[in-house]
Chains A and B, each alone.
Chain A
Amino acid sequence: MFACKNCGGNIIYDIKSKKLVCKICNSSFAPESITKENDSVDYDYFETTIFTCPQCGAKIMCEENEASSFCTYCSSSTVLTSRISKEKKPDYIIPFEKTKEECIASFKKITKKAILAPNELKDEKILDKFKAIYVPYWYYDVSQDNHFSVSAAEMYNNGASAFTAYVNVTGDINGEFEGLSRDASYNFSDDLGERIAPFFSSEKKKFYPSYLSGFYADVSDVPSNVYEHEAVELANDVAREVVTGEAKAENDKLKIYLSNDEATKQFGTTVTAKKALYPIWFMSFKQKKKIAYMTVNGQTGRAASDFPVSIPKFLLATIILTLLLFLPALGGMFLFYETAPYMFLDVTLLLSIAAYIIYYVQMKIMQIKDADSEDAGKFYKKYGVVYIKNKDKNEVFKKMLKDSLWDIIIGAVYVLIVISFMWDTLSILSLTGVIDVMFKIILSFGNLVLAVVGFIRGGRLKNSSKYYGILVGMISLVIVLAGQFIAPQNKYLCIACGMALTLGCFFTIMDLIKYHNELSMRQPPHLRRRGGDEIADTYNM
């Protein structure tokens, strides 16, 4: 707690006035003028209270006692243990500029678009739980100062012949980059950090502990080398463009080839990392043992969140749309009055193709997201090595092509079969003929393959074993296959197969919604280690 110089009362940082204000006598002070006794003794460290949540293990710095009753990271209403600690001072801080009201207004703008998100996220009482947190960031300064000599090529083409001249481009480069930032907390995902970026470093201030009065602050735990290469790469990209631009003034046919490592050597690129605290309005929304994080940039007001889907809202929207679509569907079926049961099975089979392709593709996307392989901080924590994203578009494309080659071949063949089936159905040559039956068997089997492969992929997802909707889908496909072998001309069997397909696909799509909710919510990072939060309040959706 920081004490008022006039009355000894608690003073906290006021976002609007950008000063520390006493709650009792209304005196205000510049943050730089307020220190605790021990702070002046040690310039590199400052004294603060570290609260540790007994449920999730998250650690958070706070000057207020309020933090002792509620964990911001796992939403637990529990008594947090606290200890006085000496923490290394960050170099900079960007103070909050957006008030809680402004933060809630920004967040409401994005919740308006999320029409199927839980209503609780639009509830004023829930939104009041937004907490102002300073999140630790690495603040990289990159400098370049060197005499360079790089290879380039001049290319000419006069139609009949091509001419290439290899040249050396030499010169002096001088570059300074300040304010390249990445979050230094495992608790905070790169994805959310990137979506609320940028923070404008021109507003940064030298850190004084008094800036934290009235706020929470997360403790940094990601080493600075995790993102260093990204800062170097950006500076090298800019320098390469500058050199190319200057060289082209002499010869506009020049092309410079320079790898990132070579650029670092030639431009003398060096990087230094400093610690900074950035302002983020933060709210955790708890459902069972998972947390969805809602974030708003405390400097610019930019909001970001992955919204879970409310199952009751999804079902309600489905019912409303069903009622709206019923009459057009009935009108369509009237056109095939005589052959309605067979047409019904054909249409449901076509729709089921769409559903299983969606399932197949979504499972692949979710598998990538579930692996957290693109979060550099989490990647480092898991494997102990720095994650370097491949920025070469050709290389990325080749890898994607190699990984998805079988998907593409199978997909192309399947699309051809589907088009043939649609032609067969629309031409109404025969809805019960041998060709039609053959198509139905092939497509049902194809759907079954998509469902099985999707399910196997799902098995690799964490916590996915409890979703069995796809099994209903598989059973319905087996029923259709059996129906086509037993009595394809039986109209009642066709109707039953069509109904089974519809229900099977519905449960399959529900699995995807549940997976989406699983992945849009994060498990608090320390929760697994601690064995789970058994007593925290939960909100029922």
Chain B
Amino acid sequence: MPILIICSLFIAFFIAFILCFFIAKITSTPAKIKAEQGEFELSGIKYNCVAKNIKVVSKAAMMYQKPYDQN
């Protein structure tokens, strides 16, 4: 019986400090949101960007046949 108690105590202690490590990491470093990942974000700035007189002019074309489907 003492062996069981000692073994259980050590296993409980092992699981406990690993769980505590995760709790410590999660609660002490707040997760970053997308806009915070090292890039300028558009909220907070004033901007206006307009494109006019758009024309699409053909240059060249290329066609290829897809391989015959065996199935």
Contact residues of A with B, CB < 8 Å?
Answer: 110, 113-117, 144, 151-152, 159-182, 190, 194-195, 197-202, 230-231, 234-235, 238-239, 242-243, 245-247, 249-251, 254, 304, 306-309, 314, 317-326, 328-330, 332-334, 337, 340-341, 343-344, 347-348, 351, 354-355, 358, 374, 389, 391, 491, 495, 498-499, 502, 505-506, 509, 512-513, 516, 520
Residues of A within 8 A of B5 (CB): 330
Residues of B within 8 A of A174 (CB): 49-52
CB-based nearest B residue for A195: B36
Q: 0/1 per residue, B2-43, Cβ < 8 Å to A? A: 011111111111111111110111011110100111111111
B28 with A198: CB separation less than 8 A: no
A498 with B7: CB separation less than 8 A: yes
Taking the closest CB of chain A, its distance from the CB of B50, in whole angstroms, is 5
**Bound state CA distance, A254 and B9, in angstroms?**
66
**Bound state CA distance, A354 and B48, in angstroms?**
52
A512 with B21: CB separation less than 8 A: yes
A161 with B14: CB separation less than 8 A: no
B28 with A239: CB separation less than 8 A: no
Give the bracket for the number of chain B residues in contact with chain A: 35 or more
Taking the closest CB of chain A, its distance from the CB of B7, in whole angstroms, is 4
Which secondary structure dominates chain B's binding surface?
mixed
Question: Within 8 Å of chain A (Cβ to Cβ): is B65?
Answer: yes
**Bound state CA distance, A242 and B9, in angstroms?**
63
B38 with A242: CB separation less than 8 A: no
With A195-B36, A325-B16: A168-B52 Cβ-Cβ less than 8 Å: no
Contact residues of B with A, CB < 8 Å?
Answer: 3-21, 23-25, 27-30, 32, 35-66
A351 with B7: CB separation less than 8 A: no
Residues of B within 8 A of A354 (CB): 18
Contact pick for B9, options A307, A317, A322, CB 8 Å: A322
Residues of A within 8 A of B36 (CB): 194-195, 197
Taking the closest CB of chain A, its distance from the CB of B37, in whole angstroms, is 8
**Bound state CA distance, A235 and B46, in angstroms?**
12
**Bound state CA distance, A173 and B60, in angstroms?**
25
The 3 closest A-B pairs by CB, nearest first: A198-B44, A321-B16, A175-B49
CB-based nearest B residue for A313: B24
With A144-B49, A173-B50, A348-B10: A198-B41 Cβ-Cβ less than 8 Å: yes
